[in-house]
Amino acid sequence: MIQNSVEGCSIFRYFVDGCVICRGLRLFCGPLCEIMFRMNNFWDKLPRPFFALAPMEAVTDVVFRQVVAKAAAPDVWFSEFTNATGWVHAGQKAIGGRLVKTDAEHPIVAQIWGGEPGDMEQLAAHCAELGFDGIGINMGCPAKSAIKSGGSALIRQPELAAESIASAKTASLPVSVKTRLGYTRVDEWRDWLAHLLHQDIVNLTIHLRTKKEMSKVPAHFELIDDIIALRDEIAPQTLLTINGDIKNRAHGEELVAKHPGIDGIMIGRGIFHDPFCFADNSCADSTNPSETTFSSSSLEEHRYPQAGSPELTRATERPSRPEDSTSFSEGSAFPAEASQERQLDQIAASRPEEKDGCEVEVGLGNEGERGNKEDQHKQQLLQLLSYHLELYEQWHEQTGRPYETLKRFFKIYVRDFDGAKDMRDQLMHTKSTDEVRQLIK
Ligand X SMILES: Cc1cc2nc3c(=O)[nH]c(=O)nc-3n(C[C@H](O)[C@H](O)[C@H](O)COP(=O)(O)O)c2cc1C
* Residues in contact with ligand X by the rule CB under 6 A: 54-57, 59, 80-81, 111, 138, 140-141, 178, 207, 243-246, 267-270, 299-300, 302, 304, 330
Count CB neighbours of 428 within 10 A.
Answer: 13
Q: Toward ligand X, which CB reaches closer, 140 or 275?
A: 140
User: Judged by CB, which is closer to ligand X: 37, or 81?
Assistant: 81
Q: Return d(Cα 12, Cα 17) in angstroms, integer.
A: 8
What is the end-to-end Cα distance of the chain in Å, rounded? 52
Q: Could you tell me which residues are beta bridge partners of residue 266? A: 52, 243
Instruction: For the CB of residue 266, give the shortest distance to ligand X in the complex, in Å.
Output: 7
Nearer to ligand X, 175 or 267 (CB): 267
Active site residue 19: no
CB closer to ligand X out of 169 and 269: 269
> Which listed residue (141, 277, 283, 358) is catalytic?
141
Least spacing, CB of residue 435 vs ligand X, in Å? 25
Least CB distance to ligand X at residue 243 (A): 5
For the bound state, the minimum distance from the C-beta of residue 99 to ligand X, rounded and expressed in Å, comes to 12
Q: Which residue's CB comes closest to ligand X? A: 268
| In the complex, least distance from residue 126 CB atom to ligand X, rounded to whole angstroms | 18
Q: Which is nearer to ligand X, 8 or 86 (CB)?
A: 86
- Of 37 and 304, the one with the shorter C-beta distance to ligand X is 304
CB of residue 213 to ligand X, shortest distance in Å: 11
Catalytically active residues are 141
